[in-house]
Each structure stands twice: as structure tokens, then as C-alpha cells.
Amino acid sequence: MFKTLLIANRGEIACRIIRTARRMGLRSIAVFSEADALALHVRQADEAYPIGPAAAAQSYLRGDVILEVARRAGAEAIHPGYGFLSENAEFAEACAAAGVTFIGPSPAAIRAMGSKAEAKRIMVEAGVPTVPGYHGDGQGEALLAAEAARIGFPVLIKASAGGGGKGMRPVLRAEDFAAELAGARREARAAFGDDRVLLEKYLQRPRHVEVQVFGDNHGRITHLHTRDCSLQRRHQKVIEEAPAPALSNMLRKQLHDAAENAARAVGYTNAGTVEFIVEGTEAYFLEMNTRLQVEHPVTEMITGLDLVEWQLRVAAGEALPAAWPPAPQGHAVEVRLYAEDPAEDFRPSIGRLNTLHLVPPDAGRIDAGVSQGDAVSSHYDPMIAKLIAWGERREAAVASLQASLAEARIAGVTTNAALLRRLLREPVMHGEVADTGHIARHAGRLLQQPDAAPDWMVAAIVADHCAGLDAACANPWARGDAWRVFGAAELVFRLAAGGAPRQVVARPGAGMVRVSIDGGSALQVAQHTGAGHVAFTVDGVPRRLGAMSRFPGPVWRVVDAFEPYEFSLLDPYAPVGEAAGADHRLSAPIPGRVVQLLVAPGDVVKRGDILVIIEAMKTELRITAPRDGIVEALGCAMGEGVEEGTELVTLAAPSA
């Protein structure tokens, strides 16, 4: 076994690999870009070396620079994690030429499975069932349109060179094909430097089921059971579980056998994943990922194995145990916590994690790449953490995750935590099964903003604040509220509580606070603190907040029936600003690059029309017209990099 391991990655997977390396007594070497100089993986590693600017193309994708660091640090092996260089055959070859062990399969296997078209050809020859489609070399627009018509709409356009949902577009009608093809090619070129595509029949209600496979250098290939990854947004996974539920024994065996055959067809070694789409009793090969998967923890939970450890052992020449695969024990579920706004088409959210409090699920764990105070930047994937729960039954694992998410407290960025809570309450997580279109199909219900907090809850929060002021300072002359000798004056607040800010007037009294909201009649609020909860009586009605957290600011967070409400005090005398009239100036929500400019000055646009598309954080963001109008001016150009807040389009009223 080698003694020094370089991790050619960042974030949570780098931290995950470092954890195993430390347990195995290996010296861990981290690399970091300028944006990651203070990152968690840098702080956790035994040594860390800079490799270039923030842009991945100039740092984490520079295999030559990383190999030079390996030489200087004396690293005997390199673990690429997932993403970046993990499926780069040229980098694997360069490692071998430099005498450094690459933790992964052979360059030939990476190259064979790296092209979706070539992978499909190999699978057909190996007898692995594939989805009807077109995987040819011809890439002319007319040819592709004709092939799509032959397959029959709806069809799915997919980038040949990569995965992760990049360059993937479903097309429901022939008249939309040209526009979606152009978008898929643009995404594929940006993500993989290769705009070739393939076409497949677009199945209407498919499940995404995958099989973990492992191969050693002694000719042994085996599976480690199934995972279900059907709950997805933008073709990227949100919730994963193992083993995949609701599969017949016959179909499960078919999947295991097909996955092992796929791995044997390319002489596979180390960890890999064979992905299938399943509809009814039919399963079709989707792709093979020649690396560790983001969702590998659920397989670890049901097998009791450390897959990173076995990656290292196999790379060092050890044989897989003859007793594999171990029988699965219980059920595991993983959720991906992202810094993104589901209500804004999953727009990534950047900022500093002023508060990050996560509680591990019972019999589970948290894999995170950031800690409180770290920043979510615009340069990389916006994942904050993965929460993984195990239970003897599926219901127990889901309940454990629900309890963990109820305790999560995050401030500084917008997250998908509310979506995760709602998904865990869906029937598809309780006895039913999901398909890949579930989130998109139920977006109106799942992605909505939380309703405005009810008046009783607003009144209770204000009463809690008044009680805090009472207890904060024994010296009345040092207090910052409206205390006075002849009785408390009215306290005036502006409280952000979901929806429009609420104007609140409070008059504290002996054991009671009178609270008036937006000029309405006063509510009488009494507060009673009990063990593990805060209780109130509001106009004689008992109310209880079982999960209320207080933060500096002041900021409160309340979880009511797993639905979070955030409260924060605003300056009641601050000017409202220009928000009411700002819908004529459309700005970049985060830094990015303009990849499509669809309007020119003078164009008439309707509400919802796409005006500009910018690419940021591996995602295309569509800037749409908030109302009918005329394009008055443009503040950007095609291909131009824009900073957060850059004014992209100025709209005039239609009458102008």
C-alpha cells in the first residue's frame, strides 16, 4: 500500500477521501485554486498546494500542474474524486507515465465509456439492452432532425462526451428540435469541450436505477447492489436510496447481471457505476460512470463497506473478497443540500455561510465540504452537504432524514432545504416509487415559496423578542429599546416573515404583550417557556413552537410541520427603496458569461419571454421579461463575462 495520496479535487469529496486516508494512515495532499485557499479540504489535509486561478480550466483541470505537485510532494497515488479529471483518459495515462498510481479504471475503459455513442455500441455487442436511438458519427442538423423523426417524438438529446445532465434536452415536438439541439450543443461544448450529441427515445415515466460495480486486477468483477436516483431536477439527482425499492427479484437479478456484463465488456477495474432507466419490467442501459459516484454513501450504509478504502486497496493490487457481494442490510437514503433557489428555476445562490448548523441523522452521517463562515462561490458546484440516513426499513431512514432536516439552520445563502423536506413527505418516499419527471411534473406544489407566516406566529416572535429585551440588560439606562420610567412605550418593528414585510407595533406589559400587525386589532400574547419548546397563548388560544431557533440579527427560524419560516427584524424607518419600479432593469443574479442574446434594442417582448441566457456554476440561467415591454437598451454582449448585478436589459413600457 502506498503511503502518500494526492486528492485532485475539492469540496465534500476531497474531505471524504481525506477522512479515509487518515483512518488508513496515509498522508493526504490537497490542491487548491485561488478561490479555495481557505477551503475545508485544505484545512483538513496534511499538506496543501496551490494550482492556479479560480477557474477550473486553469486549476483543477490542469493535469500537468497537478502531476508536478505530486512530484514535489512525493505522492505515490492520485485520487481524482468525481468530476474534473476523474474520467479523463489522458490524465490517467499521464499518471502512469509519471509513475503515479491513478485511483480508478484503465485509460482504455475510461475512453470506451467516456463516449456515450461508443459505450452504446459496446453494450449492444455485449448483449446489454439499450434504448432505441441514434449514436452515429454524423452530426449535421438535417441528419439529426431526420433521425429524431425516425425514432419518433418525444426524443432526448444527450451530449456524447459527458454526463451530469449537461447537454441533455428533452424535445417533445419536431418544431422545437433545432432550438433545443443548439442549446444542448452549447452546454456540451462549455462543459466538455465537445459538442457532439446522440439521440434516444424519451421514455415518459422512467425510473433511474443504477448498480454499483467493482473490479480488481485479478479478473474479478462483482456488483454491490442497486440504487434508485429517480428524484432529479434538471437531470441532476436530488435524493438517492439503496437498495432500489419496488423491484421484482427477477428484474433486480437482470440489473445485477447486465451491470457485471457491461463491466466485463471493457475489462473494468476499481469502482464504477452502471446506470439504467427502468420502465415497467424493462431496463435499458443508460451509461457507465468510470469513477466513484456522489451517491456512494447509501451503498456504504447498506453494505458496511468503505468504498474509498476498497478503491485504494484494489489500486494497490489487492483482490476483492471472495464473499462479495455482502447481503444488503436495511435501507439508506441520501439528500443533496444545495445553495440554490428552487423557486427561481434552481438558480445557484452565492454568499457566505453565516450560519451552518446541521445535525447528522440517527445511524447516519453528513458529508460536507464547507463549514460555517465559508463562502459558496460562483466558480464551482453549489453543493453544501449530503445528509445520509440508515434504517432497518425505508420508512425509518426517511423519518430520520426528516428529523435531521428539521434541525438544519443555514443563513447567508438560499438553499433547497424546503424542497427536500417536501420531497421526503411525498407518497413516492412512503410506499410508492418516483420517476425522473416527478419534480418537474409537480413543480407548482413542490417549488413554491413558503406561505406568509400567520399572524399568531408573527405576534409570538415579537413577544419573544420583547422578552429577550427584558432579560438582556439589568441596567435600564443601558437598554436599546423603548423602556421608560413611567411604563414602556410602543415598540415599532418591520419584520420580514415571508411575503411582504410586516409593520408591527408592540406594547409590553406585565406578563403580556399587545401586538398589532399592519394596523390590525391587537393580539394579546403571553409566553411560557417549557422543556424543549416555547409555548404562547395568543388571544387565549394555546400555541406551541417546538423548533424555534434564535440567532443574532435578530433572526428567528421556526419549523412548523416541517415547513420552515424565517423571521428577521428590519429597520422600521429605512426607506423602502426602488423595488417597486425596478422591474424595468434586469440584472445578472450571479457572475457568469452571456451565451445567448435573444433581443435587440427596439424589440417588443411579452412577459415570460427569454431575453438573455447566461452560464454560471455549470448551469444555464434564463433571464426572462417580468412584464410586457420594449427593449430600451442592452448592457451586455454575446460571449461577455458579467458580474453579479450587471444590468443586462432595460425595458420600457409598451406605450413608450
Show which residues are catalytic. Answer: 291
Q: How many CB atoms lie within 10 A of CB 549?
A: 14
Could you give the CA distance from residue 441 to residue 439 in angstroms, rounded to a whole number?
A: 5
- CA of residue 29 relative to chain centroid, distance: 26
In SS3 terms, 370-383 reads as: CCCCCEECCCCCCE
Q: How many CB atoms lie within 10 A of CB 181?
A: 21
Strand, helix or coil for residue 78? strand
CB 333 within 8 A of CB 426: no
Nine-digit cell at 382? 453549489
Could you give the CA distance from residue 270 to residue 214 in angstroms, rounded to a whole number?
A: 5
Of 294, 225, 320, residue with least CA distance to 12 = 294
Nine-digit cell at 16? 471524504
CB 608 within 8 A of CB 625: yes
Of 508, 515, 540, residue with least CA distance to 458 = 515
Could you give the CA distance from residue 332 to residue 241 in angstroms, rounded to a whole number?
A: 5
CB 353 within 8 A of CB 373: yes
Could you give the CA distance from residue 378 to residue 235 in angstroms, rounded to a whole number?
A: 20
The DSSP code for 581 is G
Could you give the CA distance from residue 404 to residue 393 in angstroms, rounded to a whole number?
A: 17
Distance linking the first and last C-alpha atoms of the chain? 74
The DSSP code for 194 is -
CB 194 within 8 A of CB 161: yes
Helix or strand (DSSP H, E) at 259: helix 249-265
- C-alpha distances out from residue 96 to 76, 92, 102, 108, Å: 11, 6, 7, 13
Q: How many CB atoms lie within 10 A of CB 628?
A: 14
The DSSP code for 130 is B
CB 522 within 8 A of CB 508: no
CB 305 within 8 A of CB 328: no
- CA of residue 167 relative to chain centroid, distance: 18
Helix or strand (DSSP H, E) at 101: strand 101-102
Long-range pairs, 104-108, Cβ under 8 A, ≥24: 104/80, 104/270, 104/271, 104/290, 104/291, 104/311, 104/315, 105/215, 105/266, 105/268, 105/269, 105/270, 105/272, 105/290, 106/267, 106/269, 108/266, 108/267
CB 587 within 8 A of CB 646: yes
Of 292, 216, 321, 311, residue with least CA distance to 1 = 311
Nine-digit cell at 217? 486486477
What is the pairing mode between strands 27-33 and 4-7? parallel
